[in-house]
Chain A
């Protein structure tokens, strides 16, 4: 019971850090992009399309808790949560969203291209399913070089309708690669519900077609995600090849932060809000009893996260812009001698 409580508190901490980050980024992004009939007003600190993972935190937290620094991770355009959960520095990520020189990419990437190679996070991606072939390539390198580690490959429900999904699953199985495919199914493909656009039973059924074992889990139950991911990660580390986790969750916000998502049935959202993974984790914690029943512990963790994010926003705001000369660096270096 004590171990379960400790696990839950750690997962809770990851989730509330992600939530606090997303909430702050959302607030800083209003008016930051011309979309959905609204013009950018020039006042936003976080500019451009910002894809929030609000409500999906349990998937990032539950999966990444099992990852080591030697493991790789590829993510999606909705990748802040995965990045934080993999161990990336929160303040540098916020600075990147602000476009500042102190961000992970020195202001060259922004939200859609968040990466922290130092913790094995090989990048979010602005193109749906595009991280998948990169993930299997990274896993292929791990296998060829007899290195420890696996690659966790996050993608959304929309990605399973793109060719690279199918090519990557086939590839991973053919070469028996150490890949954990994670379908973070938030049930929306931009502003279109994914269900009517998807034939068959979805990600797990498609994995079965490649003889890739899969497991479907309630993606808003952080302990369930944690347990399922732990089982699959263990199998992969035992050399049993690729596995797929289908985590069903829900996107609480619009496609981007300025999308009011008026196309959704309000009842659907109301129902989803009752299923908020953070609220559910609090309820589970209370149910465990003992010290865990004292929600003030959870409140303290949440306050700490809010404070950490507040400081990150202030630091990002105060940080210097990149030099304009940076626009011309790291494009390519032609010539010999760079790698030898």
Chain B
């Protein structure tokens, strides 16, 4: 057990996998210097430039080379820097990595982890602040992971590197400095959600940075007598149906909160499934469908704060129509 940041936890996870398996390599821009968030710090010094590979700014080639390396027997960790830049390698993710195993009839596997941090990066505006997990959840052939704590980042990154199929691994752009206890012996399987609070009135599902905001909202809701089952989904696809649906069956109410744009966000999938399977009442809460702005008051329009979560939760439980949060 040690106190470390979300970034340090990631470094430790990659280090342990690289020590255990010579087939693991890292490739991407600036990884030799530790990555722009320190998420590879010290690894090139330990493992050399052949295994921690600095690359040109060539996202298509980085991602595509990762696929080729994987087919040729390596287990690459592919760094995309931020999810917004992964869009330059989208054919390589969608048409190549995700399709390879199926399309070629299982002749090969693509055991790579594509790291692309997600979410609003303070004051970084529209091209560096997107939350695109729903895009990848929609894509057969990939696993999608969004860790919210240093422990989760450590354990889920290791689980992702052991997965054997492509994993879209989405850390959060502003969680890198978050400190927490990490036990290197703790294993967290993919797909397993974590229930952070138990309560009978409402199921609240969230992930990534938004989880901490939901925890704050839960404390406020408890003060007015609304007890919440708070679930950190952790793996977006495949998601933990058992945990979420069991909770919805108990509480009869599901609120999904995410930083991504609400329209066609992954919350819609959870809400629809929960309503179909359990008959529960549902609400989604995500960002308005606007690009993220630069000025603080513009950027704030895309954020979901605890007040908004409290308001949505009350509206759902008290069976009121939700007021327009972003009106």
State the A residues within 8 Å of B (CB). 72, 74, 103-109, 113, 115-118, 122-123, 125-127, 130, 132-142, 144-145, 151, 163-164, 167-168, 170-171, 174-175, 329-340
Give Cα A137 to B69, complex, Å. Answer: 5
Q: B residues bordering A, Cβ < 8 Å? A: 21, 25, 50-51, 53, 55-56, 58, 60-61, 63-76, 91-92, 95-96, 100-109, 111, 140-143, 159, 162-166, 187, 189-191, 238
Establish whether residues A117 and B61, one from each chain, have CB atoms under 8 Å apart when the complex forms.
no
The answer to whether B107 touches A104 (Cβ under 8 A) is: yes
| The one of A105, A151, A333 that contacts B107, using a Cβ cutoff of 8 Å | A105
Tell me the minimal C-beta distance from A253 to chain B in angstroms. 24
Tell me whether A339 and B111 are in contact (CB under 8 A): yes
Q: Are A332 and B142 in contact (CB under 8 A)?
A: yes
CB-defined contacts of A105 to chain B, threshold 8 Å:
103-105, 107
Query: Min CB distance, B244 to chain A, in Å?
Result: 16
Number of A-B contacts (CB under 8 A): 172
A330-B106, A334-B238 as given contacts; A134 in contact with B111, CB under 8 Å: no
A163 touching B60 by the CB < 8 A rule?
A: yes
Given contacts A130-B92, A336-B163, contact A103 B105 (CB under 8 A): yes
Which single residue of chain B is at the shortest CB-CB distance from A128? B91
Q: Once the chains are docked, how many angstroms separate the CA of A334 from the CA of B163?
A: 6
* Contact among A107, A116, A144, A167 for B56, CB-based, below 8 A: A167
The reply to whether A134 and B68 contact each other, CB–CB distance below 8 Å, is yes
Residues of B within 8 A of A127 (CB): 91, 95-96
Would you mind naming 8 contact pairs between A and B with Cβ atoms under 8 Å apart?
A72-B72, A104-B104, A123-B103, A130-B91, A134-B71, A138-B72, A170-B56, A339-B109
Cα–Cα distance between A84 and B165 once the two chains are bound (Å): 29
A171 to B89 Cα, complex, angstroms: 15
Establish whether residues B71 and A122, one from each chain, have CB atoms under 8 Å apart when the complex forms. yes
Q: B65: which of A106, A117, A137, A338 is its contact (CB, 8 Å)?
A: A137
Nearest CB of chain B from residue A163's CB, rounded to whole Å? 6
* Assembly CA distance A133 to B76 (angstroms): 14
Question: How many whole Å from B122's CB to the nearest CB in chain A?
Answer: 31
Choose among A117, A133, A136 the residue that contacts B104 (Cβ–Cβ < 8 A).
A117
Bound state CA distance, A72 and B108, in angstroms? 13
Pick from B50, B65, B70, B159: contact of A336, CB below 8 A: B159
